[in-house]
Structure 1
């Protein structure tokens, strides 16, 4: 069957002497894998279009698990991301997260739009950690684990939040803190930002000025919640954590 899709390259790996296998994520068809024959050759017309993060127009034939790329035209190469270690590290995290969580040929127009907007935001020098959190929360919601951020998950009342319990799946008020000794304390400002991450469309993201201490607290909360409910081990996140550890 012949396909023509606008897609983002979320994975690209060498295959044989001159080929590449690409994983494309498209708006209507979801995730699909194709072989770009000869893409590693210097003069290949498919070489640039097979690079990670590229957004393009792809035509390919697919009869089994793996398609064969016939034609590709680049719409947005996201050069600034690939040329910057920090941008590339954060974009790789979002790409791997998408690859690992999405099923094959599972169309998700909203998530496609969110990934494309996230890459655009990183390219435009918006705070990459904030972009990460927004997109990760969208993927947590896709997996069915959206945190309860309005009512206390202990007493089910609309009380002032005191902490976030990853295990119980939402906020706890002061009175219910004993229900989860591992719950992470949150301030009203952090609570407001968490609600923003759940509700906000990445396409509407402007510049957000977040203090370093707040960024650290948000990172701990989002990663703890993700690890508790989704639990995927991601190489790209390990790399980000190494960069953070050594101040790269």
Structure 2
């Protein structure tokens, strides 16, 4: 059977770089072909019909002419522009982090429709969320689940017994939680509070609709962020470049920083919990 010479597919633009005088080389995520690279010929010319449809983070319907080494985008139509991600630096920084995280965990050419939907959903959420940090923490845990790096949060990795409602240890190299006795004997395991662990478990098992209105105490948000980023760094054996840039943006006094809702939001007195997740205000 002859191989199709062109296909139509949805795609999200992960990365872009200048290619030649008027072209761009794009890294795309598709639901049915996974991650791939394609040339957008002439897209840098103002007269190009594809200009404005293939910007960073955009979701578009494209027609790909299949090549031996690189595909060529012959048509493109915007499905969702996610405009706030290019108009607000803080939102853009979180989107860059979420895209880089997916990029590092996924090989080229491996289809994963659920992963595509997760990225599409998080870009939409980051475009409107008033708690960007919590949105990112939820995304991290669900991405880790889809790519096979789900951390164990229910049972002690040393004894195999359910963890008790008390402060525990978390070992990123072992892949999850340890009871106080096992954790104290494991090099590299660090304490994790009962509140941070409960919140982490709630985010891991819950849909976004159940967590989007949570109000989390700043100290719990900061602990959760440190724990998850350390776990991600150990699994990837590298630190993501976007993490440092995001930190600089959050510390810069950028006018939208109040929308972060994360570890660097102004501290305030904790109110009684109104949600099932510990550490919520």
User: Does TM, normalized by the shorter one, top 0.5?
Assistant: yes
SS at match of 1:48: coil
User: Are the counterparts in 1 of residues 118 and 143 from structure 2 also a CA contact under 8 Å?
Assistant: no
Moved over 3 A (4+): 200-205, 244-248
Q: Confirm or deny that 1:141 pairs with 2:145.
A: yes
User: Are the counterparts in 2 of residues 53 and 77 from structure 1 also a CA contact under 8 Å?
Assistant: yes
Larger Rg: 2
* Residues in 1 aligned to 2:249 and 2:34: alpha-carbon distance in whole angstroms: 31
Instruction: Pick closer, same or farther for the CA change 1:159–1:103 going to 2, 3 Å.
Output: closer
The equivalent of 1:153 in structure 2 is 157
* Residues in 2 aligned to 1:223 and 1:4: alpha-carbon distance in whole angstroms: 36
Q: Confirm or deny that 1:230 pairs with 2:236.
A: yes
Q: Confirm or deny that 1:113 pairs with 2:117.
A: yes
The equivalent of 2:223 in structure 1 is 217
Q: Which moved more, 1:62-71 or 1:95-104?
A: 95-104
* Residues in 1 aligned to 2:222 and 2:253: alpha-carbon distance in whole angstroms: 14
User: Are the counterparts in 2 of residues 114 and 201 from structure 1 also a CA contact under 8 Å?
Assistant: no
How many residue pairs match? The answer is: 248
User: Are the counterparts in 1 of residues 27 and 35 from structure 2 also a CA contact under 8 Å?
Assistant: yes
Q: Show structure 2 runs of 5+ residues with no match.
A: 255-281
1:8-27 Cα offsets, whole Å, 9 max, x none, are 11111111121111111111
In the superposition, the TM-score normalised over structure 2's length comes to: 0.82
Superposition CA RMSD, Å: 1.9
Which one of the candidate residues 66, 74, 78 is aligned to 1:74?
78
Q: Which has the higher helix share?
A: 1
* Residues in 2 aligned to 1:76 and 1:181: alpha-carbon distance in whole angstroms: 46
* Residues in 1 aligned to 2:253 and 2:186: alpha-carbon distance in whole angstroms: 33
Q: Show structure 1 runs of 5+ residues with no match.
A: none
* Residues in 1 aligned to 2:251 and 2:190: alpha-carbon distance in whole angstroms: 21
Question: How many angstroms does 1:185 deviate by?
Answer: 2.1
In the superposition, the TM-score normalised over structure 1's length comes to: 0.92
